[in-house]
Amino acid sequence: MLLHDRSTTAGAVLGVVAIVFLVGQQLAVMFGLFTLMSALVDNSGADIWILSQNSNNTSTAGDLPARYVDRLAGLADIEWAQPVIYSGAQLKLPSGRSQSVQIVGTTRPALEGGPWRMAAGSSDVLLEYDGATVDKLDLADLGNPKVGQVVEVNGKRIRIAGYTEGSRAFGPTVVFVNSTKAREITGISADRCTNILVKLKPGVDIRRVRAEIRELLPKASVLTVSELAWNIRVYNFTNTGIGSSFGFSTIIGILVGVVIITLTMYTNVLNRQRDFAVLRALGARRRDVFAIILFQALTIGAIGLLIGFFLLAGFLFGVKGSRLPANLPLWLPPAHALLTFLLCFLGSVLALRRALKIEPASAFR
Amino acid sequence: MDILLESPKSEVQSPMSSIQSQGVPGTPVLRLEGVARDFTDGRVVRRVLKETTLDILPGEMTVLAGPSGSGKTTLLTIMGLVLKPSAGRIIVGGEDVTGFSEDRLASLRRQHYGFVFQQAALIPALDVLDNVLVGTAIQGGRVSARTREKALELLSGLGLKDYLSSRPQQLSTGQQQRAGIARALVSDPILLLCDEPTSALDVESGRIVLDTLKRLSRDPRRGVVLVTHDPRVFPYADRLLKMEDGAIVYDTRSAPTGGN
Ligand SMILES: Nc1ncnc2c1ncn2[C@@H]1O[C@H](COP(=O)(O)OP(=O)(O)O)[C@@H](O)[C@H]1O
Ligand SMILES: [Mg+2]
């Protein structure tokens, strides 16, 4: 039974919508960023990454001897191993200013760890000496280079040979080139690389091979792709403002919602004291009053969830394919719904306390 | 037999059979024995209701009159099992309910009591029909088709047939009070307790309400108690009690030669 009149119900529903939408949107963007952070690793096609000694994520990694690749050749469970070069660089814009980019140099002819999705054509354009790809979503940042246009990175010329679509990462704009061009740009010598990507044969126990590689290369850091992806997310989450900023706005969203629910529920009980007293006089027990308030809170929660999820779906749909990354892991909406109901209950605690104190005799005053 | 404790389940069969069998005119539906009530104002304890012994008989209208502050509402709410007395015993339908838990008293009120308040005290968020049914549903039970029918019958009997799905705010105060009476009657109570039911009404609506209550009090299974400070209500009384300073100072029963 709803004792709420429509305007107070609407107010409380608004609180829930605030929680569901604001928090959901924050989380979607956060998970979108998570995906973006480890995109280069997740989409590298490799199972194991080798980094310089003592580094547990790509941001803190140095470089490695490229001959490590040859040492791995003796392991039967490995399908391929390829050196890759990741490095920051400066791209010169037509305006004369420069733009930070992330150079990814993939080894010819296999081009492992290269772009994983092209807007058109094939990544084979990277086989050409000066061929480079950039992402469609990043074109504006790079001064809208046309295909075929030559631009300078760290003073070296590259030719935009194709556009990728969604082959992007967190941080500076990714520019894919081949490893020869990457060495030219970054100055990393032919006998060094920054990472080695390792692909295992199907059905091989990844932990065992990881242990074997660690034994073989004691002066390198050997991580599975999922370990590395996790490390990168943790690193970025804690070492950039992302963690605190998203944590903050999520908490604000929750607080705003709880405060609105609490205020509307509490005000409603205050305004409806007489109604509750009358119900008590007519035979409602305390537990019935409890049930009424709880039912009210859950109803508000359910309506708010419905509207909130609807808005959230609209948001996700709207930003799909845009520069704003957003995605919700499947487990999140149910968890979010549970949290919302919990908060609705929390928001009604004060109202509940007040309502349970109302004496039936006060109906006659 | 403990009929008062019967669950709503058995209510379907014949909830008040035992009370009805006691509802013979002359056998009280309610008995107060030495009931008193104190209130604390800061540190001062005031006896607002002095020790009172009183029987309420079925089939008659008992009017409880007295000036404002004389303790009428206090006495009525004690009768209504809504306010605990500081002393004395309450016997409903022959059973001493003084020591009953709050929940058992609530169930008793729901099943056997009807209340009419000064202002109708309808719930604004519910329509008129739901307001009448709210008491039956209040403990989470389902409203039976029979109860619904009864509610419709009562409402049309009280001239509210066309207002079933109206909100209370859309009704005149007189109509609201009649809806309140329908709510009080839907459970077929053995005791109907009304606290100044006409004080917020104009003369004409007040007369309709009083006529209705008077008619209801003729049911030999039901006692009606009406609290008022309005002397115009006195003629409706089968029995008139007058209160002053927390005590009943006059009772037509013990002074059958007449009041004023
Ligand atoms: N909850 C309460 N706390 C303190 N005093 C009360 C309370 N309820 C009633 N009283 C006092 O008891 C006296 C009788 O009140 P009441 O029974 O409402 O009288 P009436 O209904 O005849 O106007 C009044 O003086 C009132 O102030
Ligand atoms: Mg009073």
Distance linking the first and last C-alpha atoms of chain A: 24
In a domain, B21, yes or no: no
Q: Write down the number of H helices and E strands in chain B.
A: 8, 10
Taking the C-alpha atoms of residue B168 and residue A5, their distance in angstroms, rounded to an integer, is: 12
User: Among all chains, which residue has been given the structure tokens 């008659």?
Assistant: B60
Q: How far is B123 from chain A (nearest CA, A)?
A: 6
φ, ψ of residue A42 in degrees (nearest 5): -60, -35
Quick: pLDDT tens for A15-26: 888 888 988 888
pLDDT value at residue B260: 46
- Cβ-Cβ contacts under 8 Å, B103 against chain A: 285-287
What atom in ligand 1 is closest to the CA of residue B67?
22
What helix, strand, coil percent values describe chain B, rounded to 5? 35, 25, 40
Q: How many CB atoms lie within 10 A of CB A156?
A: 16
pLDDT value at residue B18: 41
Quick: pLDDT tens for B229-252: 989 899 999 999 999 999 999 999
* Mean pLDDT by groups of 10 residues along chain A of 365 residues: 68 84 88 91 94 81 88 90 93 91 93 92 91 94 92 94 91 93 93 94 95 94 95 89 83 83 82 91 93 88 93 92 85 89 86 92 91
More confident of the two residues A344 and B90: B90
Taking the C-alpha atoms of residue B108 and residue B73, their distance in angstroms, rounded to an integer, is: 20
pLDDT value at residue A44: 93
- Pairing type for strands B61-65 and A98-106 reads unpaired
- Pairing type for strands A78-92 and B223-228 reads unpaired
Strand segments, DSSP code E, in chain A are: 48-52, 64-65, 78-92, 98-106, 131-135, 150-153, 156-164, 173-178, 192-193, 195-200, 220-224
Taking the C-alpha atoms of residue B49 and residue B28, their distance in angstroms, rounded to an integer, is: 21
The answer to whether the Cβ–Cβ distance between B137 and A286 falls below 8 Å is no
- Asked whether B118 and B163 are in contact (CB, 8 A), the reply is no
Quick: pLDDT tens for A77-89: 999 999 999 999 9
φ, ψ of residue B194 in degrees (nearest 5): -125, 125
- Paired residues of A106 in beta bridges: A178
**How would you write B220-244 as a 3-class SS string?**
CCCEEEEEECCHHHHHHCCEEEEEE
In a domain, B164, yes or no: no
Q: Is the CB of B228 under 6 A from ligand 1?
A: no
Quick: pLDDT tens for B132-163: 999 888 888 788 999 999 999 999 999 999 99
A3 in B contact zone (CB under 8 Å): yes
Q: What's the Cα-to-Cα distance from A203 to each of A73, A122, A208, B35, rounded to whole Å?
A: 19, 29, 12, 87
pLDDT value at residue B257: 53
| 3-class SS of residue B256 | coil
Interface test with B, best of A285, A289, A293 (most B CBs within 10 A): A285
pLDDT value at residue A78: 93
pLDDT value at residue A1: 54
Q: What's the Cα-to-Cα distance from B183 to each of A95, A278, B146, B163, rounded to whole Å?
A: 81, 12, 15, 14
What's B69's domain CATH number?
A: 3.40.50.300
* Amino acid making up residue A344: C
- Asked whether A224 and A210 are in contact (CB, 8 A), the reply is yes
> B227 lies in which domain range?
28-124+189-251
| 3-class SS of residue A320 | coil
What helix, strand, coil percent values describe chain A, rounded to 5? 55, 20, 30
Mean pLDDT score of chain B: 87
Strand segments, DSSP code E, in A25-97 are: 48-52, 64-65, 78-92
| 3-class SS of residue B47 | strand
- Cβ-Cβ contacts under 8 Å, A364 against chain B: 73, 76-77, 82, 117-118, 195
- Cβ-Cβ contacts under 8 Å, B109 against chain A: 281-283, 360
pLDDT value at residue A2: 57
Hey, what are B115's tokens? 């209340």
Q: pLDDT tier at B4 (50, 70, 90 boundaries)?
A: very low
Helices (H), B31-91: 72-79
- Paired residues of A51 in beta bridges: A221
Burial tier of A111 (Cβ tally within 10 Å: 0-12, 13-18, 19+): buried
Nearest CA to A21 out of A307, A347, A344 is that of: A307
In a domain, B5, yes or no: no
Statement: residue B9 has pLDDT above 70: no
Q: How much distance in Å is there from the Cα of B227 to the middle of ligand 2?
A: 8
Segment 149-208 of chain B within 8 Å of chain A by CB: 183, 195
The answer to whether the Cβ–Cβ distance between A283 and B106 falls below 8 Å is yes
Residue minimizing CA distance to atom 5 of ligand 1: B39
- Cβ-Cβ contacts under 8 Å, B124 against chain A: 5, 275
Hey, what are B256's tokens? 């059958």
Taking the C-alpha atoms of residue B88 and residue A244, their distance in angstroms, rounded to an integer, is: 65
Domains: count for chain B: 1
**Which chain A residue lies closest to B133 (C-alpha atoms)?**
A282
Taking the C-alpha atoms of residue B133 and residue B153, their distance in angstroms, rounded to an integer, is: 12
Taking the C-alpha atoms of residue A11 and residue A27, their distance in angstroms, rounded to an integer, is: 24
pLDDT value at residue B5: 35
φ, ψ of residue B32 in degrees (nearest 5): -105, 130
Hey, what are A187's tokens? 């100055």
Taking the C-alpha atoms of residue A193 and residue A200, their distance in angstroms, rounded to an integer, is: 20
Nearest CA to B175 out of B191, B190, B194, B155 is that of: B155
pLDDT value at residue B252: 92
In a domain, B45, yes or no: yes
In a domain, B109, yes or no: yes
pLDDT (mean) for B16-34: 65
Nearest CA to A278 out of A266, A291, A289 is that of: A289
In a domain, B171, yes or no: no
Quick: pLDDT tens for B168-219: 999 999 999 999 999 999 999 999 999 999 988 899 989 999 999 999 999 9
Q: What's the Cα-to-Cα distance from B160 to each of A32, A73, B135, B166, B202, rounded to whole Å?
A: 60, 93, 19, 10, 18
In a domain, B137, yes or no: no
In a domain, B181, yes or no: no
